Amino acid sequence: MKDKDATPGSTKNIENVTEKNILTSEEIDKLSKGAKTYEGILIADNRVYRGQIKYTYWWGNDGGMFYCYASHYTINDPDGFSRHKANIHFSFDSNQWWGIDYPDSMRQDNQWNPWRVGGYIGANRRARVYVRFVFDLPFADVSGENSIYYTYP
């Protein structure tokens, strides 16, 4: 896999990435080789419940491509029940959108758990990374969300 032929700000010749394009660890290493990578953490909370996601991102084609790869997540467990049915939505967008939902299967246990998902999109030198956690509660679940914008350096 290599950088796609894309001009920043243009949708011409940009691959359709709306379908899942999950990258393996090997593909991530290959794609990011020689690129300046950056680490990010997004935190989303609702009252006493808090979720965090760690990810790595980098740019290709002078800001025409944006790559983002989550590696771990943690969700706190303030009441000590170690629930295992939280939900996470992770996505990023610019000229294109990429996202994934994991329903009712994520641990809420105060631990950093591996979660290796990611992909790439056509970009216009600016991209947004977004996360939403739905915290598993005995009755009505609650959610928290957060996002951050990055600009090609």
- Whether residue 52 lies inside any domain: the answer is yes
Question: Taking phi first (over 0 means left), then psi (-120 to 50 degrees means alpha), and beta for anything else, what does residue 9 get?
Answer: left
C-alpha distances out from residue 152 to 3, 10, 54, 73, 128, Å: 15, 15, 20, 25, 11
Segment 68-83 mean pLDDT: 92
Percent over 90 (pLDDT), the chain: 65
Q: Give the global pTM.
A: 0.85
Provide the mean pLDDT of the chain.
87
Domain count, the chain: 1
Most confident of 36-45, 76-85, 111-120: 36-45
- The answer to whether residue 24 scores a pLDDT higher than 70 is yes
- Whether residue 88 lies inside any domain: the answer is yes
Which residue type does 85 have? K
- Whether residue 7 lies inside any domain: the answer is no
- Whether residue 115 lies inside any domain: the answer is yes
**Domain span holding position 139:** 25-151
**Cα–Cα distance between 99 and 7 in angstroms, integer?**
22
